[in-house]
């Protein structure tokens, strides 16, 4: 049966005219037509009507970089720190059930207008345990109805987070005897999933999930600090063979930037390019510390970047050069990295933060408009996913991934009748304003609640499970002891003078 999705404003995309008092005709999981509500209503009198004159109708947002979790690291008691220390602080987190991680995390995203997500994931131990865990995660994603590029990855180096290659051994040698022994036991590489077993398991999963309409298997190597050149090459070959994609972390922190010249003799992205990794099927998360040469390389190769402004601020990584990305023509998307500024996974707040951080202070410097950021969160994400032409806009033939936003609160107490609905949405809407979400034309959020499972029961189950879960005291104590040594390790590296890309004020 056909559905008319109605709104005071229908926002087809970043570059399309907003349709006032419009509607979208949906049938068979696809968009058939857009136009004035009265005209489409007369032409399709039997169509079910969803939405009202209070709503805005927009394309589903795309979260281009995420790590699913039922509760945030702050809720686990792990504070924001510089990345290299923060990764140790995460050792204090209790284990959470995979199914609930996915159900609750994906629902937060859906309720924030996100209809597709790239989730970089990990391994659960040996191959058998990891396979069971991945199947459980994918089944939970099916339950929520969201689209997901599911990208597991594993380490084959850098287990202590001290850098690539032989850095682990060198760092451990700086620790006092008993601390070194306990650190080796905590981060024993033999306890994880070996690279060969990971590749074999990915082979199985890529084949098993190849034809799923909403879920796709991606390769998610954590980053050059943790994945050797040889392993990266094998991942790239496997991804090409399966027609899959790769996402990894590059130049998130200042110390990751320093690793390029220190270990590879130049920029990190250039090193990955020389290995043959870059290209339209490859994307990076963060890119905070990209050089001009790396930005040109992103644009030239079609390599995409997920801009994660909240996470970059919270972990003191800095501000990614969004204006430079856009000016160079880099495929740029928006991601929450499960670390949003208000710890709430609100994609509207993430878009606003991306916009505000890039608003330069003089007339002769570039600055994005709201439509530019909206484009990143929709069409940019679609291109990163390889779904340009089917996702990221409301247009005939596109998938019916739509979001209805109740604009009552954004319009209160008054709004000018001539206001641009797209700008109003980006400047003032919040996740709490989303009422309904469709993916492939199917209701996945109805009246603010997921349709695939009982959210109240899932929240209650998580609370009960976590109340009975023991705090990892030994891991926490070990992290507290190691963090000062990590800070001393990186603090001893040569710190070249930094030339800021973003200058918002001046001391003189």
Fold of 3-59+396-429: Urease, subunit C; domain 1 (2.30.40)
Q: Which fold does the domain 61-385 belong to in CATH?
A: TIM Barrel (3.20.20)
Q: What is the pLDDT of residue 177?
A: 86
SS3 content of the chain, % helix, strand, coil (to 5): 40, 20, 40
Residue range 281-320, pLDDT digits in tens: 999 999 999 999 999 999 999 999 999 999 999 999 999 9
Whether 209 has a pLDDT exceeding 70, the answer reads yes
pLDDT, averaged across the chain: 96
Q: What is the pLDDT of residue 504?
A: 85
- Does the model's pTM come out above 0.85? yes
Which of 489, 429, 482, 463 has its CA nearest to residue 111? Answer: 429
What residue spans define the domains of the chain? 3-59+396-429, 61-385
Angle at 313 between CA 310 and CA 317, to 5 degrees: 125
Q: How many helices (H) and strands (E) does the chain have?
A: 20, 16
The pLDDT confidence band at residue 197, using thresholds 50, 70 and 90, is very high
With a cut of 90, say whether residue 186 has pLDDT above it: no
C-alpha 22/C-alpha 443 separation (Å) is 20
Q: Which helix (H) or strand (E) holds 290?
A: none
The mean pLDDT of 356-376, rounded to a whole number, is 95
C-alpha distances out from residue 318 to 97, 100, 222, 328, 463, Å: 33, 32, 20, 20, 34
Q: What is the mean pLDDT of residues 387-412?
A: 98
For residues 192-220, average pLDDT: 97
Give SS3 for 192. Answer: coil
Would the pLDDT of 188 be above 90?
A: no
Which structure tokens are listed for 269? Answer: 């992205």
Across the range 316-331, mean pLDDT stands at 97
Q: Of 337, 316, 404, 282, nearest to 3 (Cα)?
A: 404
pLDDT at 192: 81
How confident is the model over 265-277, as pLDDT tens digits?
999 999 999 999 9
Alpha-carbon gap, residue 346 to 42, rounded angstroms: 37
How far, CA to CA in Å, does 503 sit from each of 322, 361, 419, 422? 13, 8, 32, 29
Question: What's the DSSP call for residue 249?
Answer: E
Q: What was the pLDDT predicted at 185?
A: 86
pLDDT digits (tens, 9 = 90+) for 71-96: 999 999 999 999 999 999 999 999 99
Residue 5's DSSP bridge partners are: 24, 50
Instruction: Sheet containing 304-307: give its strands across.
Output: 215-217, 147-152, 114-121, 61-66, 332-334, 304-307, 282-286, 246-250
């Amino acid at each position: 049966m056909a559905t008319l999705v109605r709104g005071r404003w229908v926002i087809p995309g970043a570059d399309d005219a907003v349709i006032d008092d419009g509607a979208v005709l949906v049938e068979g999981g696809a968009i058939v037509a857009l136009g004035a509500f009265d005209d489409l209503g007369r032409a399709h009198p039997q169509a079910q009507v969803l939405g009202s004159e209070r709503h805005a109708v927009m394309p589903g947002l795309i979260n281009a970089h995420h790590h699913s979790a039922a509760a945030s690291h702050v809720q686990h008691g792990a504070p924001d720190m510089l990345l290299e220390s923060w990764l140790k602080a995460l050792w204090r987190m209790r284990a959470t059930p995979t199914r609930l991680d996915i159900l609750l995390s994906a629902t937060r995203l859906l309720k924030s207008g996100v209809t597709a997500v790239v989730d970089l994931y990990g391994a659960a131990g040996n191959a058998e345990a990891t396979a069971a865990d991945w199947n459980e995660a994918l089944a939970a994603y099916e339950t929520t109805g969201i689209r997901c590029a599911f990208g597991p990855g594993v380490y084959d180096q850098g287990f202590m987070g001290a850098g690539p290659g032989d850095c682990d051994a060198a760092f451990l040698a700086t620790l006092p005897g008993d601390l070194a022994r306990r650190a080796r036991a905590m981060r024993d590489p033999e306890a994880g999933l070996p690279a060969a077993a990971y590749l074999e398991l990915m082979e199985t999963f890529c084949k098993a999930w190849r034809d799923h309409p909403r879920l796709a298997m991606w390769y998610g190597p954590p980053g050059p600090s943790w994945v050797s050149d040889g392993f990266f090459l094998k991942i790239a070959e496997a991804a090409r063979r399966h027609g899959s994609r790769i996402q990894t972390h590059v130049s998130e922190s200042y110390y990751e930037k320093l690793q390029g010249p220190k270990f590879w003799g130049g920029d990190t992205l250039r090193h990955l390019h020389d290995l043959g990794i870059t290209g339209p099927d490859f994307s990076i998360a963060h890119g905070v510390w990209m050089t001009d040469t790396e930005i040109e390389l992103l644009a030239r190769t079609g390599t995409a970047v997920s801009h994660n402004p909240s996470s970059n601020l919270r972990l003191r990584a800095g501000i990614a050069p969004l204006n430079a990305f856009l000016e160079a023509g880099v495929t740029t998307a928006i991601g929450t990295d499960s670390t949003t500024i208000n710890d709430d996974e609100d994609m509207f707040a993430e878009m606003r933060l991306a916009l505000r951080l890039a608003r330069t202070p003089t007339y002769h410097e570039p600055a994005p408009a709201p439509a530019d950021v909206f484009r990143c969160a929709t069409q940019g994400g679609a291109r990163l996913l390889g779904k340009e032409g089917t996702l990221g806009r409301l247009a005939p033939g596109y998938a019916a991934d739509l979001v209805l936003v109740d604009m009552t609160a954004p319009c209160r107490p008054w709004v000018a009748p001539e206001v641009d609905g797209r700008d109003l949405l980006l400047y003032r809407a919040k996740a709490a304003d989303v009422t309904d979400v469709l993916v492939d034309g199917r209701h996945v959020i109805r009246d603010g609640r997921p349709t695939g499972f009982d959210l109240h029961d899932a929240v209650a189950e998580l609370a009960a499970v976590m109340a009975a879960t023991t705090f990892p005291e030994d891991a926490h104590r070990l992290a507290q002891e190691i963090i000062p040594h990590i800070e001393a390790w990186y603090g001893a590296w040569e710190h070249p003078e930094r030339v800021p890309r973003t200058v918002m004020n001046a001391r003189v």
